[in-house]
Structure 1
Amino acid sequence: MSLLTITDLTLRIAGRVLLDSASLSVEAGRKVGLVGRNGAGKSTLLAAISGDLAPDGGAIQISNRARMGRVRQETPEGEASLIDTVLSGDLERARLMHAAETTTDPAMLADIHERLLVIDAHTAPARAASILSGLGFDHDAQLRPVSSFSGGWRMRVALATALFLNPDLLLLDEPTNHLDIEATIWLEGWLRTFSGAAIIVSHDRSLLDNVVDSIAHLEKGKLGLTPGGYEEFIRIRTEQALQQNRAAERLAAQRAHMQSFVDRFRAKATKARQAQARLKALARLPQIDSVVEDSPTRFSFPEPAPLPPPMLTLDAVSVGYDGHAVLSDLSCRLDLDDRIALLGQNGKGKSTFAKLLAGRLEPLSGRMDHSSRLRIGYFAQHQGEALILGDTPIDHMARAMPDATPVAVRAQLDRFGLDAGKAESRVGDLSGGEKARLLLALATRNAPHLLLLDEPTNHLDLDARDALIRALCDYEGAVILISHDTHLVESVADRLWLVDDGTIVPFEDDMAGYRAWLLERARKATNSSPSDTQTESTGRRDQRRDRAEQRRALAPLRKEAKAAEGLLEQLGKERARIEARLADPTLYDTSEAGEITCLNTRLAALAREEEAAEERWLAAEAEIERANHG
C-alpha cells in the first residue's frame, strides 16, 4: 500500500523549474534515499511533501491519518530542558496529559487514559531519554536548558524530537551533518529498526548503503527510483548508461549506413525508389541520445616541497583552554606520509588537537617541535562564518595570496571547481558546498605539508565528496582527518587514533571494528549516579537501578519483537486464506483471470513481508538475548 504518492509534480523557485512532472510512490515502511546534485531541488521537494510549499502543478497524496515527522531548519530555543523539549514535540501526548490533569468527567477521563495507553505514553520519557543518549546527550545534559547549547547541538535536539514522534513518514534532510561518527552509527541503527517510512536526503554514502532500500535520484526535474543502496544505484546507473550508449552507437551506425545509400543513389533513376524508401525508414528510426554525464567534479591539492622527518613531534603535551587541560600527556610524531583519522565523541578534544597542531592553541605543558619549513593547511568546520559575504572568492584568495598574480589566484580557485563565474560571484550567493570549496582552496593555497581537515564534507554533495577522496589519495602530504563520513575515513586514513578520557591512543582496528567496539561499549554502559558512602545499600540500589535501566532499554526491543510476531500471525492467516482460495477448483471456472493474477501477486508480496517481519523478530530477539547474557 502506498503511503505517499507524488504524481506529475512541478515545483518552481524564483521562476526556475526544479521538478517537472515528476512522480514517486513510497510504500509504508520503506526507506528511500533522495540524492542529486546540490541545487537540484531535494530540500524543496521535502518542503512540498511536508506542506510548507505549494506545488505549481501535480499532486502529493499522503494516506489518511498518517503522522509525519520532519526536522525543521529552525533550532529549538528557550529554557525548557532537552528532555521536556523532546517530549513536548508529541502534541497529542502533551494535549492528552494536560486533559488528564484537568478533566473531571469520568467517562472522558477513561477515554483519555485509553488513548494514552494506545500511544504508549507511559514509556515516552524513557524513549526520549534513549534517543537523546544515542545522539550524544548524557543524563545531566538532558536536564540542561536548550538555550545553553550551541546551534549544532540544538539541531541534534530537533532531530531527537522528530525521531521521538515515531511517525508513519519521516523526512530527514542531511541528518548526519551535526553528528559525530558515534551518533551517526547510532542513527543508522535506529533507522534500520524504525517501522515507518522515511525519505532521507543525504550525502553520507554509509548511511545510504546501510539504511535505505531504494534510491530516488532527482535529475533534470525528474525522479527515478532504483532498488538497493547507493552502491547498487551507482552500479545500475552505470550499466544503464553503458547500454544506452551502445544502443545509440548501433542506431547511429544504422543511420549512417542508410544515409550513405541515399546519398549515393538518390540521383540515379534506377535506384530512386529504393532511396526514397530508405529516407522514410530513416524518419521512422527512434531517437536514442548517448548519455552525456555532467562535467565530473575535480579537486587537486598543490604538491608540497620535500621535508625531512620527523615533520612534527609532541612530548608529554597538555592542551586546553583557560589553563584547564582537555588533553594531557600527548606524545607522538607525524611524518609526511601519515594519514590519520581521529575518532571519538564530540567534545572529547578532536578539534582541540587540530587547533594545537595548527598553532591556534599553545601547549599548557610539554614540548611541541616541528621543522621551521613546515606549512600547515587548516580547514575548520565553522570557518565559513568568517567569510565576508559581500566579497567574491577572488577577493578572499587575493588577500590570502598577496604576492600571487591574478592568474595564480584564479588557478588556485579553479583547483576546487570555482570557475570564472563562481569566482566572481558574491560569497553570499554561493551554496554551502561552494563555500566549502572556497575554504579548501584557502586552506591549501601555500601547498601545505600537513593538512588538518575538521568535518570538510558537511556541505559537499556526493560527487564533490568523491572528488575530495581522489584528491586526498593523490596528495603528497600528511593528513589529519576529523569526519563523521565513514566512507571518507575508510578511503583516506591509514591509521585511526581514538580521542577519549583526556588523551589520544592508537585504535588498532578498522572502522568496522570501531563500530563493533562502540556497540559493545553502549551495550555494557549504564547510567551512573553520584557515589554514596553507604556502600552496601548503594550497591543494592545500583543493582536495582541497573535492572530497571536494562528493562527500560529492552522495552523497545521487546515491543518490536511482539509487533513482528503479531504481524507474522496476521500475514500467515492471510496467506492461508489466499492459498485456500487458489486451491478451490471453482475459482478457475467462475473467476476472471485478473482475480487469479491478483491473488498470486499478493501471495508473492506476502512471502516478502513475512520474510522481513521474521528478520525483524529474529534481530530483536537476538539483541534481547545478548543483553540478558552480556
Structure 2
Amino acid sequence: MASCADILRSEFPDLDGELFAYVTGILHGSGADFESVDELEEAVGELLREVSQDTKDDGAIREICQRLFNTLQLDEGQAQRCSQVLLDAPIQLSQITDGYGDTSADLLPGLLLKRGQTSSQAFGGFAEDALFFKLCSVSQMVNAKKLEKAEARLKAKQDKRLERDSLKSSGPVVLEEASASQASSKKETRMESSGKNKSYDVRIENFDVSFGERVLLTGADLNLAFGRRYGLVGRNGLGKTTLLKMIASQSLRIPSHISILHVEQEVAGDETPALQSVLECDTTRESLLREERDLTAKISSGRGEGTEGARLSEIYAKLEEIEADKAPARASVILAGLGFNTKMQQQTTKEFSGGWRMRLALARALFARPDLLLLDEPTNMLDVRAILWLESYLQTWQSTILVVSHDRNFLNAVATDIIHLHSQRLDMYRGDFENFMKIKEERLKNQQREYEAQQQYREHIQVFIDRFRYNANRASQVQSKLKLLEKLPVLKPVDKESEVIIRFPDGFEKFSPPILQLDEVGENGAGKSTMLKILMGELAPVRGIRHAHRNLKIGYFSQHHVDQLDLNISAVELLARKFPGKTEEEYRHQLGSYGISGELAVRPVASLSGGQKSRVAFAQMTMPCPNFYILDEPTNHLDMETIEALAKALNKFRGGVILVSHDERFIRLVCQELWVCENATVTRIEGGFDQYRDILKEQFRKEGFL
C-alpha cells in the first residue's frame, strides 16, 4: 500500500521540498493523535488547497485527506517503529546548531517529540542524552513558525485526549461554571452608595461573560429601559441562558432597588395548594395577613397590651392600599390562563408533574410582578391555548421583561425590542421580530456595500502607489497616499452566520395503504401522549384495533429523550454505544447532519446547550433510517434557524410524519392537516391553524380573558 509520502508525491508533484517535509512531519509526528479525518484535514487541508493552485476542489482534497488518514491508521504500528532511530553515536549540541540557527526551531521533522513533550522539553538535559531522529535530510528542515504551529496542534490534541480519558475514569462530569466580569464605574458606584439612583432602567456596560474557558460575550453593553419588553435571540450555545443567569444572580451589577425574578426552576412539590403557592409570592401581603392573625388572636384571648388596635388599623389601611382582597381573584385568573382549572387550583403542588410545576413557577412570577422579569423559553412548557393567553397578558405588562424565545409569533406579539446575541456581542433593534429581520438584513447589505466601496478605493490608491513608488518627482504624492491608507478605518466584510442544514435519511419505500390505522380506539388515558403511545404500539387500546404495515419503521422523538441522554460521554461515544459496528467517521457524519460537528461531537453531552442536546437526540433517532416519524415537541430549545432547517428537512422527507407542537410557525410550515386532542377526543380542524386560533379566542372571550 502507498505510504503518505507516496500519496503526496503522486497528488502534488510540484510540492517543494520544504513544504513536503512540513506535511510529512505533521502526518508522521502526529498521526497517532488524529482521531478522525476531520482532524487531519484541519491540520493540513488548507495548506494542500493552497499548493494545489485551484486544480483540486474541496471534495478532492477531502478524498486525499481520507487516504492519508487510512494509511496512518492501518500502518500506525509500523509508523511508530520507523519514526525513531537511535543514532550510532551521541550528537553534540554544537555540531547540530552550526549552520542551522536555533536548534529547537529548525529541527522539525528531525526531532522526535515523545507524547506530551515539546521541542524545548526534549532539549532539556541535552548534554547527557542521545537524540532520536527521523530518517530525513537537512533539506527537509522547516522554519520556526511552522514548528511552533505543528507542536501547538499536536499538544492540543494530546491534551484533549488526556482530558477525555480523565473524564471517563473520574465518573460523572464536573460541569464548567459560568462567570462574568464588568468594568467598574465610579459614577454608578457613588450613586448606588448615596441612594440617589431611583431609576428602574438597567444599564450594564462593558462586561464579559464566559462559560469555562469559552468566551461568550466580550466588552458587551446591555441597556433595558423600564417598561419595555425585550426578546433575546441568537444561535444555540452562544450564551443566552447563561446571560440570564448572570443577571439573575447579580454577577453583573444591577441597582439594588430593582427586584429581579428569573423563571428557571419548577416549584417544589409539597402540601401547599396551587392557588396558595401563587399567593405566597406576595411576601408583603402574606406578612401583613400573618401579623393581622396574630394581633386578632391576642385581642381575642385577652393577652393584648392595648396597642394592638392601632396597629391593626395600620395593617388594614396597608392591605387596602395594595388591594389584598383582589389578590386571590388575580392569582386565579393567571392560573386559569395557564391551564389550571378550578379543581387543579386546589390541588397540592406535589400532585403535579414537572411540566405543570414549571407553569406554576411562571404563574408565581407573573403574580409577583418584579421590576425585571427574566423568562427563558416560556412557551416550551405551554400548549397553544396557554401561549395565546400569555401573549395577551404580557402585552399589558407594566415593568421590564427580558425573554429568550425561539417562537417567532410569540416575539412578534410580545416584544417591543429585539436583542441579537452573536459574535460575542449584543446588538439592539427597536420593534418586533419581523422588524428586526428586515433591519438586520439592511444593515448587513449596507455593511457589505461600505466594505466593497472601501476595498475599491484602497485598490485605486494602491495602484497609484505601486506605479510611482520609485518616481522621485512623485515621492511626496506617494507618501501622502500612504498616509491616507493608514488613516482609513478598517472595515470588515459581512460575517454571515453559517446556514443550518438538517438532512433526514430517506428510508422511504412505497407501501400499500393503510400504513398506520386506528379504528374505534377507546379512551385509555386523556391526551395526546396516550394517543402517541397507541400509535407506536407501546400501549394497547381498551377497545378497537391498531393496524400497522409490516415494514413500518417508526422514529420517535420527545423531550424525554433529550433528558435521558448519557451526559458523561460524548455524542460520538453515545452513537457508538447505541449503534455499534460503524466507524467514527460514520458517527461524526451522522452528527454533522444535525450541526454537531468538530469539537462539539467529542465534548461531554453535559456541556452542550439544550438545543445542541436536542440535535444529538435527532441524530440518534434517525440513525436507523425510519420511514415514519412521530415528533413530540421537537422545537423545544432549538434556535430559529434550526427550526427552519428542521421544517425544510421534514418537507423533503418522503415518509410519514405526525407532529405534536405548540409552535404556530412550525405547524404552518410543515403540517397539511391539524388535529386537536382534548377532552379525550381527537378532532380534525378543517380550517387549519387560523380556524383553531379563532376557536381559542372565542373561548377566551366567553371566559373573560380577552
TM-score (norm 2): 0.67
- In 1, distance between residues paired with 2:391 and 2:690? 14
AA matched with 2:672? D
1:307–1:374 contact (8 Å) kept in structure 2: no
Higher relative contact order (CA 8 A, sep 6+): 1
SS in 1 for 2:375: strand
Name the residue aligned to 2:221. Answer: 23
AA matched with 2:255? Q
Name the residue aligned to 1:189. Answer: 392
Name the residue aligned to 1:466. Answer: 644
Question: What pairs up with 1:51-450 in 2 under 5 angstroms?
Answer: 52-55=249-252, 59-61=253-255, 64=257, 66-73=258-265, 75-103=267-295, 105-318=308-521, 325-326=524-525, 348-402=526-580, 404-450=582-628
User: How far off is 1:111 after superposition?
Assistant: 2.0
SS in 2 for 1:20: strand
Over 3 Å counting, the alpha-carbon distance change for 1:392 and 1:168 in structure 2 is closer
2:229–2:416 contact (8 Å) kept in structure 1: yes
User: How far off is 1:404 after superposition?
Assistant: 4.2
AA matched with 2:279? L
- In 2, distance between residues paired with 1:243 and 1:267? 38
- In 1, distance between residues paired with 2:646 and 2:236? 16
- In 1, distance between residues paired with 2:259 and 2:318? 16
SS in 2 for 1:164: helix
2:270–2:349 contact (8 Å) kept in structure 1: yes
AA matched with 2:540? E
- In 2, distance between residues paired with 1:23 and 1:421? 29
- In 1, distance between residues paired with 2:292 and 2:447? 63
SS in 2 for 1:177: helix
Once structures 1 and 2 are overlaid, which stretch shifts more, 465-474 or 101-110?
A: 101-110
- In 2, distance between residues paired with 1:67 and 1:424? 41
- In 2, distance between residues paired with 1:204 and 1:189? 15
2:273–2:349 contact (8 Å) kept in structure 1: yes
User: How far off is 1:158 after superposition?
Assistant: 0.6
Over 3 Å counting, the alpha-carbon distance change for 1:14 and 1:402 in structure 2 is closer
User: How far off is 1:405 after superposition?
Assistant: 4.5
- In 2, distance between residues paired with 1:445 and 1:116? 61
- In 1, distance between residues paired with 2:663 and 2:488? 47
SS in 2 for 1:318: coil
1:222-258 CA distance string (max 9 Å, x none): 3221011112111111110111011101101111111
- Residue number among 691, 695, 699 corresponding to 1:513 in the alignment: 691
- In 1, distance between residues paired with 2:551 and 2:247? 55
Say if 2:678 is the partner of 1:500: yes
2:516–2:535 contact (8 Å) kept in structure 1: no
Any stretches of 5+ residues in structure 2 without a counterpart? 1-198, 296-306
1:76–1:158 contact (8 Å) kept in structure 2: no
AA matched with 1:18? L
AA matched with 1:295? S
AA matched with 2:655? G
- In 2, distance between residues paired with 1:524 and 1:310? 43
User: How far off is 1:209 after superposition?
Assistant: 0.9
1:312–1:368 contact (8 Å) kept in structure 2: no
- In 1, distance between residues paired with 2:211 and 2:586? 36
User: How far off is 1:430 after superposition?
Assistant: 2.3
1:174–1:203 contact (8 Å) kept in structure 2: yes
User: How far off is 1:460 after superposition?
Assistant: 1.3
Aligned residues: CA RMSD: 2.2
- Residue number among 34, 39, 44 corresponding to 2:242 in the alignment: 44
1:477-500 CA distance string (max 9 Å, x none): 221111111111111111101112
1:82–1:146 contact (8 Å) kept in structure 2: yes
Over 3 Å counting, the alpha-carbon distance change for 1:393 and 1:10 in structure 2 is closer
Any stretches of 5+ residues in structure 1 without a counterpart? 327-347, 526-552, 555-622, 624-630
AA matched with 2:308? D
Over 3 Å counting, the alpha-carbon distance change for 1:69 and 1:305 in structure 2 is closer
- In 2, distance between residues paired with 1:168 and 1:512? 35
AA matched with 2:459? A
Over 3 Å counting, the alpha-carbon distance change for 1:21 and 1:430 in structure 2 is closer
Over 3 Å counting, the alpha-carbon distance change for 1:120 and 1:486 in structure 2 is same
Name the residue aligned to 1:543. Answer: none
1:115-164 CA distance string (max 9 Å, x none): 21222210111111111111111111111111111111111111100001
Name the residue aligned to 1:343. Answer: none
User: How far off is 1:357 after superposition?
Assistant: 2.0
Runs of 4 or more, structure 1, over 6 Å off, are: none
1:436–1:459 contact (8 Å) kept in structure 2: yes
- In 2, distance between residues paired with 1:5 and 1:110? 41
2:534–2:546 contact (8 Å) kept in structure 1: no
Over 3 Å counting, the alpha-carbon distance change for 1:116 and 1:69 in structure 2 is farther
- In 2, distance between residues paired with 1:414 and 1:13? 23
Larger Rg: 2
User: How far off is 1:520 after superposition?
Assistant: 1.0
Higher strand share: 1
Over 3 Å counting, the alpha-carbon distance change for 1:434 and 1:15 in structure 2 is closer
Over 3 Å counting, the alpha-carbon distance change for 1:361 and 1:119 in structure 2 is same
SS in 2 for 1:463: helix
1:556-609 CA distance string (max 9 Å, x none): xxxxxxxxxxxxxxxxxxxxxxxxxxxxxxxxxxxxxxxxxxxxxxxxxxxxxx
- In 2, distance between residues paired with 1:458 and 1:298? 18
- In 1, distance between residues paired with 2:315 and 2:424? 47
AA matched with 2:292? A
Name the residue aligned to 1:523. Answer: 701
Name the residue aligned to 1:546. Answer: none
1:157-195 CA distance string (max 9 Å, x none): 111000011233322121112111111111111111222
2:237–2:608 contact (8 Å) kept in structure 1: no
Name the residue aligned to 2:132. Answer: none
AA matched with 1:60? I
1:32–1:198 contact (8 Å) kept in structure 2: yes
SS in 2 for 1:176: helix
AA matched with 1:4? V
- In 1, distance between residues paired with 2:266 and 2:699? 33
- In 1, distance between residues paired with 2:224 and 2:568? 42
User: How far off is 1:86 after superposition?
Assistant: 0.6
Over 3 Å counting, the alpha-carbon distance change for 1:469 and 1:226 in structure 2 is same
User: How far off is 1:114 after superposition?
Assistant: 1.7
1:15-66 CA distance string (max 9 Å, x none): 544333322332232111112233333333333433x1423xxx4337x4x5
1:319–1:362 contact (8 Å) kept in structure 2: no
SS in 2 for 1:78: coil
- In 1, distance between residues paired with 2:565 and 2:240? 26
Equivalent pairs counted in the alignment come to 497
1:297–1:467 contact (8 Å) kept in structure 2: yes
2:522–2:544 contact (8 Å) kept in structure 1: no
- In 2, distance between residues paired with 1:169 and 1:159? 14
User: How far off is 1:74 after superposition?
Assistant: 5.0
